[in-house]
Amino acid sequence: MNSSTIKADKRGRTGRIVLDRPEVLNALSPDMNREIREAVKKFSQDDDIHVLVITGSGNAFCSGADLEWLGNQANSVTEVKDIMSSFHRTITEIHECPMPVIAAVNGAAVGGGFSLALLADIILASDTAFFEHSFVRIGLIPDLASMYFLPRKIGSQKARELFLRAERIDAATAKEIGLVAEVTESEEFPDLVQQWATELTELSPGALNRTKALLNRSLTTDLQTFLQLEANEQAQRIQSEDHQTRVSSFLEGEN
């Protein structure tokens, strides 16, 4: 996949997007934003891809928006809204990506980079990673849907502390508060990411995708509506060839 700010490739049934502006700690630019969105969309339409990994090149995951570019472009309220709208389309594309998304945070995840990691279903971190929303230090509010997703991942009170104090947390603390699933030393981090991706690709892609879809719906759906959605989905899964094949294999293994 040709691009100037990311690298996107397939490794077996895993799609990989590597943010590739290491000279600026993989800061988000308009081109990177667009290329991430296009890559996610392409992987979402590829039935051979069962899991998507997003990570950064060099020593950072993503340092947030390219502030030099932003300062030159955000000259009016209308221009800022247009910029935000473009990023919001990318947020939606990642959030609605049918397959599980892993954020492999290999270093700094700051500002919009922290927000990007929050879009993933699973966050893994190297021991050199850290997370920070420093918006209030520079007179801005946290953006890119971080105020939507972070409270849902770690709870409202802790999210408020991180946002309002512009608090930086290391990988170990991120795991302790439930933000990160697993942490390992940087030398072993690629193996950890591969292990998680491989384990996910061995599960039923249809079941994973529908589980993710219903988890997303659960955030905004009342209980009775959700129960009906659950019943409809499960009825279809039970009748699926995928389920019947996997059950037969399981029973044969038990025997």
- The mean pLDDT of 57-64, rounded to a whole number, is 96
For the question of whether the overall pTM of this predicted structure is more than 0.75, the answer is yes
Average pLDDT over residues 170-197: 98
CA 15 to chain centre: 13
CA 133 to chain centre: 16
Predicted local distance difference test score (pLDDT) of residue 16? 98
Point out the least confidently predicted range of 51-55, 70-74, 205-209, 215-219.
70-74
Please, which pLDDT band fits residue 71 given cuts at 50, 70 and 90? low
pLDDT, tens digit (0-9, with 9 covering 90-100), for 17-26 = 999 999 999 9
Q: 27-51 pLDDT, tens per residue?
A: 999 899 999 999 999 999 999 999 9
- Please state the domain extents for the chain: 6-201, 205-254
Fold exhibited by the domain 6-201: 2-enoyl-CoA Hydratase; Chain A, domain 1 (3.90.226)
Please name the amino acid found at residue 45. Answer: Q
User: Model confidence at 252, in pLDDT bands (50, 70, 90)?
Assistant: confident
